[in-house]
Every structure is written in C-alpha cells, then in structure tokens.
Chain A
C-alpha cells in the first residue's frame, strides 16, 4: 500500500513529509493537484529536476497519484524561520507581484495547483527560484517562470526568506 512506499520518502522529506533539511522541501499537506502535477511531470520528463525524476520513473502513474493524495491529506507543518526586519521588508516589496497567486504570505494560494510557500525551507525556495529563472531547463509553468525571472538577482534570497518566515 501507499504507506509502505511513502515510508521511503522519509529519508529525504522527513516523517509525514516534514523535512528537517533546509535544502529539501516539506511535502506533507501541499495541495493534491500541485503534488500530482509535479510528480507526473517528472515521470514523463516534462519537468526538470536534479534528483527526483530519476526516482519517479520507477513508479506507475497510479502509485504517484496515490502518493499525491496521501501527502495532501497530511497536515501542512510550516517551519517558521526568522529573518531580520530589513530582509522581511525587502522580501515583502519584491513579492508584490506574487500575491495574486500565492497570497500575501505564501500561505493562501489562489488555486489547488499552487503550493504553499509559508514556512517552507528558505534554502529550498531559493533553489527552486533558481530553476524557474534558468531557461535552459524545463519548468513547464510559464507564468511562474516569467514572474521568477522578473525578480532582481539580489531579491531572490530575500523573497525566499520572507516566505520561510511566515507562520501562515
């Protein structure tokens, strides 16, 4: 069953999908549609990943969908990472254009295909933004890519820290 497979994910994403490694995302409680999108895109090579895609080619579509459902039903546990006021102000300003989709704090996505960002690991978010900003790799969500590319280089880290600091 799905729990037996999900147990293998704990080595990288933590028990119940709550990661304790800043470069690895927490995945418990992310919206089901988003999880399905990324996992199936990795299986079919429509989406770039450094590591994850090589795993998911070993699982069936049904198994991946079941995993997405399983993780979406777990509680989302934000890991609130404090940042100083200057970074918070910078991050807030730079995320103006993100608000329509992610909500003011990243905690209120406007649809089910958009992941929560609040209390996600700052380092992970920064690395994801790096992927969206690099046109040489396949990241299929065009609007997200365009928005990420509009960020000034020096704002990327602040944006990541801003979302990571939000409890909800």
Chain B
C-alpha cells in the first residue's frame, strides 16, 4: 500500500484516470498542467473520441462527423501516459486497476470518468443488438450517430420519427429535445412538411421547455408533438417488427423509432461498488471523492452530484469538465497535505433548434458551509421573450454561434 500522504515510493504520486471523455481527458490534462511531476496514466478503450455535443447537428446534416472527433496526441505530448485498453476491474484495497490485456496499474489516486452505460432491460424488447443494427439510440456518439442520420435521410414526406425519452436523470437533459428540433429541421428543409416528430417522454417536464416550445411554434409549427409521462409518454416496451414503442397506455408507431434507453453510471463504476441503488455514484460535493472508497474520485455523467433534488448537477460535457478540474485541485492539495481549494462548478448547455436560433441554460454552483449550493440569483435560461423582435433574433443568433465557439474551446480544453 502507498505510504500516508498519498506519495508513492518514488516520491511521485501515481495517478490513474479511467475514461478519456470530457471528464477524464480534462482530468488527465490538468493533472499534468498543474503538477508536471505527477505520474499520470489515462486508460481509454477507444483510440478516437467522438463527441456527443453537436452530434444532433450531424444527424440533421448541419455539422460534419469529422468535427466531432478528437485523438489523444495532445495529452501524450503533455506527458500523459495513454493506454488504449479496457479497465475491467478496480480493487480499492490494493489500489489497482486491472486491464483487459492482463496488466494491472497501481494508483495512489484514481479518477473515474466512464460516462454512462445503458439499462436495455428497462425497455422490454429493446437490446444492445438492436441498438447496434436496426435501431440505434445514438446516445453515445459514434457509428450509431451515422446510422440514425442515414435512417432520417431515408424517410419520406408524411412519415413519423419517434423519440423515446427515459426517466431522468439522463445525460444531456436538453439532448432529446434538441434532437427533435434537428429532425424537424431536416424535414422542413427537405420538403417533408407533412412529416412529424413524436417525443414520448417518461418525464413530465424538460430542460429549457419554454425555449424549445417557442422554437417549435416558430420554426416547425405542428411538426413536433411532446407527450408527457403523465399523459402516457413513458415507454416501457418496444416491438422491432412493427416499429412500435409502447407505454402502459399508448402505442407509438414510427417509420423511424429512436429509443433512448435508461442509463446508469459506466459499468466500471458499478462493478467497483461505487453506485447507489439508482445506479449513480455519490460523491463528496466539494471534492468529487467517492463516498464509498477513498482516493477514488468520480466525475462526469457517472455521478449524482450532491443532494440537490431540483438543481442537481446536470450530466453535461461542461459539468464534467469543471468537475474534473475540481477533482484535480482536491487531489493535488491532498498530495501536498493542504486543504482542498474552494471548488467552482459551472455549467452551460447550448442547444441549436434552427439555423441562427440557439439558446442556453447556465448553472452556477457555490460552496457554502461545506455544501454545494445552486445560485438562484445567477444562471437560468436565455430570455424566452424580449421587448423587441430584433433583440430576440440577435440573442438567438448569438447563442447559436457561441455554441460552436464553446464546442471548439471545450474540445481543446480537454484534448489539446
């Protein structure tokens, strides 16, 4: 075992990061940037990262798939030891991570950012096999993004695109509604004005609802129908032969049916025993250290961040990015035997509903008396109404452009 103080035998702490997505790549980079002497290893199963942010725009043809990609050269140049492998087990007692190839890595501190995995059993009749063939969920970007795009491009006027939304929390709270907007956008710009999008939702409200509904009314009148959970929107069953998703009350038959299955923390977090009964990792609100095992820090979508019933940290790339920075600050403080610095958590999710029509939600969290508090005086959604039409149009145009600028910067902040 490592001697106390977190220093390894060589005097250099060994850091292992599992998962090279928005959370993990940011953590690996900032560990090196803030203390070049650390020995940092990143374990990631894929050689190429595919971003979920802006993947809905790729489905509708407004963005290029290549634009979603990032590699790990940038992190290697910074001195991160990148290992392309699958982490199959973590042993918190011996502080080691087992890899599929057979090797195992010792750590003094472990950062886990494995994202999400799906609970296919949550939708009877849906499966990983269907997701990888005829019915992509495209809720992890990659080949399924392109498969769903192809299905959309194969549609004819008058046909229906069904999106099913799982019970929260799910990654990217505005994601399904942005996707619905992008699908309607495709219809509108391809002479398919009789086509429809149906959102069958397990929940009774959604992120940026007022902003989305305004956008739908303006840009896609009559094209998008949202069914709340209370109105029978909660899909529990899927029949691939008839392309019908069903709740206990309604059937939703579509020409394309996009099932977003319920999800939980990445498998490695689950198998390490870090998850609660709902499948998410609970963490110390101010440091991101697991409440189950010490010296393991969990960031990103895998976490349920704080006891915040209404304003829990959303599962977004931006949140993962700031959580990673906080975890790094806390780890380095621990190595140096000083108290963790004041943590700063920020989130901004931009969505694009139509060309020149973007909007956002901002969350600012502050540490107060040892707790994480959502600042109700700050943050919130973009204005729904503005006194002047030209100001409203400018606001939407600006945020559609800032969305792209944000994306370029956050990709660089994690991977370059």
Kindly identify, within residues 294 to 318 of chain B, every residue whose CB is under 8 Å from any CB belonging to chain A: 318
Other-chain contact of A11, B366, B388, B390, B410 (Cβ < 8 Å): B410
Could you say which of A14-22, A87-95, A154-162 contacts chain B? A14-22
B409 with A58: CB separation less than 8 A: no
Of B322, B394, B402, the residue contacting A130 (CB under 8 A) is B394
Q: Are B382 and A21 in contact (CB under 8 A)?
A: no
Q: Is A144 close to B, CB under 8 A? A: no
Is A34 interfacial (CB-CB < 8 Å)? no
Are B348 and A51 in contact, with the CB atoms below 8 A?
yes
- Once the chains bind, are B409 and A54 in contact (CB under 8 Å)? no
CB contacts under 8 Å to B, within A8-57, are: 8, 10-15, 19-24, 50-51, 54-57
For chain B, what secondary structure do more than half of its interface residues adopt (helix, strand, loop), or is it mixed? helix
Most chain A C-beta atoms within 10 Å of own C-beta, residue among B341, B364, B388: B364
Once A8-B322, A11-B322 are accepted as A-B contacts, the answer to whether A55 and B412 lie under 8 Å apart by CB is no
**Would you call A21 and B405 a contact (CB within 8 A)?**
yes
Closest chain-A Cβ to B383's Cβ sits at a distance in Å of 10
B386 surroundings in chain A (CB, below 8 A): 136
Which of B341, B378, B387, B401 is close to A58, meaning CB atoms less than 8 Å apart? B378
A13 to B377, CA, bound (A): 23
Q: Does B402 contact A23, Cβ atoms closer than 8 Å?
A: yes
Say whether B344 contacts A13, CB under 8 Å.
Answer: no
Indicate which residue in B329, B378, B401 contacts A55 across the interface (CB closer than 8 Å). Answer: B378
Q: Tell me the minimal C-beta distance from A8 to chain B in angstroms.
A: 5
B406 at the interface (CB under 8 A from A): yes
- The interface residues of chain B lying within 8 Å CB-to-CB of A4 are 325, 329, 341-344
Residues of A within 8 A of B390 (CB): 134, 136
Residues of A within 8 A of B360 (CB): 51
| B73 in contact (CB, < 8 A) | no
Contacts of B395 in A (CB 8 A): 50
Least CB distance, B339 to chain A, in whole angstroms:
12
User: With the chains together, A82 CA to B203 CA distance in Å?
Assistant: 50
Tell me whether B409 and A10 are in contact (CB under 8 A).
Answer: yes
Interchain CB contact under 8 A, B377 and A24: no
Cα(A61)–Cα(B310), bound, Å? 28
Report A-chain residues with C-beta under 8 Å of the C-beta of B375: 57-58
Query: B412 to nearest A CB, angstroms?
Result: 5
Using a CB-CB cutoff of 8 Å, which residues 389-407 of chain B contact chain A? 390-391, 394-395, 397-399, 401-402, 404-407
Does A127 lie at the interface of the complex (its beta carbon under 8 Å from any beta carbon of B)? yes
Query: Does residue B64 face the partner (Cβ distance < 8 Å to A)?
Result: no
How near does chain A come to B355, taking the closest CB pair, in angstroms? Answer: 14
A23 to B360, CA, bound (A): 15
Give Cα A106–Cα B406 distance, bound, in whole angstroms: 25
Contact at A51–B377, with CB atoms within 8 Å?
Answer: no
The 4 A-B residue pairs whose C-beta atoms are closest, nearest first, are A58-B378, A21-B405, A58-B364, A23-B405
Q: Beyond the given A11-B321, A21-B407, A57-B375, please list 10 additional residue pairs across the A-B interface where CB-CB is below 8 A.
A: A7-B30, A11-B406, A13-B409, A15-B33, A21-B406, A22-B408, A50-B382, A50-B402, A136-B387, A137-B394
Chain B contacts to A: CB under 8 angstroms: 30, 33, 318, 321-322, 325, 329, 341-346, 348, 360, 362, 364, 366, 375, 377-380, 382, 386-388, 390-391, 394-395, 397-399, 401-402, 404-410, 412-413, 416
Between-chain CB contacts (< 8 Å), 8 pairs: A1-B341, A4-B342, A8-B344, A11-B348, A15-B412, A23-B405, A54-B378, A57-B379
State the A residues within 8 Å of B (CB).
Answer: 1, 4-5, 7-8, 10-15, 19-24, 50-51, 54-59, 123-124, 127, 130-131, 134, 136-137
